Structure 1
Amino acid sequence: MDILKLFFIIVYFSLHSATSTMDPCTESVCQSTKSSPLIRFPFRLIGRQPKSCGFPGFDLSCNYNSTQTLLQLPYSGNFTIEAIDYGAQQIWVNDPNNCLPQRILSLNFSGSPFTAVYDQDYTFFNCTLDYSRYGLNLIGCLSGDNYTVLATSSNEVVDSLSLSTCRRVATVSVPVGWPFYGGVSSSNLTDDLWLTWSNPKCRKCESRGAKCGLKPNSTNEISCSSASGR
C-alpha cells in the first residue's frame, strides 16, 4: 500500500471517529449576533437540531432570513424569543410584526408548557378623543386617524373612561415582570411578555453548570450530566 493511500485512509477514519463522537445537541442560534438567544435543551431549533435534543412543546424555528427566533403557541401563533434564562426557566417574547397589544387581546397559552411569571389585568378602550393630552399612553398600532386605543390596569382610570365617550373593548390578563399595586394609568404594552415553564425541571442541573437533556430512548424523562458528557 503506497504512502498516499495510507494517508487518506487514516484521515477518513479520523474524521469519521470525530463526527461520531460529536454532540448533536450543541447550542445553536438563528443568527450569529449578540442579541440572538442561544438555543439548547429543553428548546431545539427545527431543522438544525434533532428532535431528541428538545422536550415536547419546546420546538423553535427561524424566520425566513434567520433574523428572528420563533416560538409557536398552539392557539396564539408565532412570537419572537427575545431572551432565555435557562437557570430561572423563563423566556421573554414579543410580536414579530411589532404590534404586541393586538396579540395580547387574543393571547391563549392552552396546549403549551408556558405560563405568565406574573400577570395583571388591563382594560382596553377605544376613544374618539385624543387622550394623550391627558398624559395617557396610546397604542399606536391599534389607533387610527379618528380614534385612539389605550390600555390601563388602574381601576380609577377604568371608571373614569367608562363614564366618557370611550368604548370598553376588553379586559385581558397580561404577563408582566412584576405587577404594580394600584395599577398602571396607561401603557402601550410593547414590553416583552415574561413567561415561565415548570417542566422539564432543569434548574438544579443548570445551577451546577451541568447539562440537562432527555434520557436515551425517552421523550419525557430527563437526565443531568456534566458539561463534558461524563
Structure 2
Amino acid sequence: MDPSWWRSHSYHGFDLSCTNDNKIVLKMPASSNNLFVERIDYTSQEIEIYYRSNHPPREFFDLSLSSSPLQFMPGPHNYNYTLFSCPYLEERLSYGFCLIKLGLYYLDNPENQTYAVNTQCSVDRIALVSCTKLHDYTSIPDISTFAMKKIMKLHWSKPSCRIAKRWARHRITSQFKDKLGQEAYGTVFKGKLSSELLVAAKILNNSNENNGEDFTNEMGTMGLVHHVNVVRLVGFCADGFIRALVYEFLPNGSLQNFLSSADNKNSFLGWDKLQDIALGIAKGIEYLHQGCDHRILHFDIKPHNILLDQNFTPKVSDFGLAKLCSRDQSALSMTTVRGTMGYIAPEVFSRNFGNVSYKSDVYSFRTLLLEMVGGRKNFKVIEDSTSQVYFPEWIYNLLEQGDDLRIHIEDQGDAKIAEKLAIVGLWCVQWHPIDRPPMKNVVHMLEREGDNLAIPPNPFCSTSN
C-alpha cells in the first residue's frame, strides 16, 4: 500500500497492541506512556481508557485539542486546566484537586516537573513561584479522579480510525470463519468485534491488478456516508496482504433472498413491506446523489447489494464500483463498463443514449423495482404459449391496456401498491437518461397515496428487438 495514502486515511501515531497479560494498550503519538483500554464500542465509536502509572501522562491533555482524532466525551465534571513547568518542591504535592503532578514528558526540562492546575482554583493560593506557564486546555475530565484508576471515555468520529487496525486484523485472521457471501472483489464473513457488535467483514481479493484501487475506492466513499438506508462502515484493516472492510452485520441478508413470487407464502414479504423497502432504497440512493458534499454514483444497484436489518430496513451496500463527482457535474467520463449485466444503463455501454451520470443508478433501480413486482429476474422471458416477451415490456403493455398485472394479489390495496411500484419502475426504465426522473422525484412518487400516477411514455416502442 502507498504509505502516503495510509497516512491520509488513518490516525497517525495511535495504535493498539496487546500486553503479555492480554491487556489492550492504546499507544499515543510520540509517547512512551500508554493508556489501557477497558472497552471499545464500535456502534457508538467510543473507547474507554485508564492508566496504571502514579501520575496522569502529559500527552493525555493533547486529546482535548481540535486536531486530535480522539476526543474526550463532554460531561458535567470536565474542567479547564493550565499546565506549568516548575522546579520540583514537596509542598506542591498537597493541593489535591487543584494541582496534579503529571508524568514525565519527553520534551520536559529534566530538572523540572509538569503540573496541571485546575482553573476553578485560585492560582494565588498555589505555590507557583519560578514556574513557567506551558499551555491552557479546555474541557478535560477531572484528572484527580482519573488518577484513582477511574475509567474515561474517548470518542472517534471517522470510521477509518487506525484504532480499528490491529483489533480488526486480529479478529479477521482468527475469528471470521462464517462465510456470508461472495462479491466481485472479495468474500464476506460474519464476525464479532465485541460482545455487543456483530460485523460483516469483506476480505478483498489478494490481487495487484489495480493496486488496491477497489479497497481505496470503497474506503474513501464510505467514509463520507451516514444514512439509515446505507450500510455503515465500522472500520478497516490494511496490513500486508490483508485488506478488509468491516461493516455492521445485517441479520436478514440481501433482498435477493426475498425476491419470490406472491404465490410463495413462505418467503414473500408482503406488499406493504415491499413498498417500505422500495422507498428506503430510493431514499438511500437519493442521499448518495444529493446528501453528501460530493455526489456518489453507485453503479451496482441490484437486489444482492441491498441488505436488510432485523426490521427489514434496507441498506445500500457494496461501493466497490462507486465513483465520486461534484454535485453540479452533469456527465461522467468512464473508460470501462461498470456494473452487473441486466442492471447496467444503456448509456454506460454506448454514449449514443446520452452521458453517464447519476441517472445510470436510476435505471438500475428500475430493474430492482420490477423484480420486486414480478418476483423473478426481469430479463428472463415470460412464456405464454409459443411467444416470448421481455418482462418490463409485458408489464408496460398490461398497464397501458388497463389490465391487472396478472400477479397473485388478494387485496385491492395490495394491487394498488404493486401497480405503483411497476409504474415508478417504468419511469426509471426510460432509455435516454434525460427522460428518467431524479431519485428525489422517485421518492416522492413512492410516497404518494392513491392510484393517480401517470404511466410514462412507452420506452419499448423502438427497442422491441
TM-score category (smaller protein): 0.3 to 0.5
Structure with greater helix percent: 2
TM-score by length of 2: 0.26
Greater Cα radius of gyration, structure 1 or 2: 2
Structure possessing the higher relative contact order (Cα contacts under 8 Å, 6 or more residues apart) = 1
The structure with the greater share of residues assigned to strand is: 1
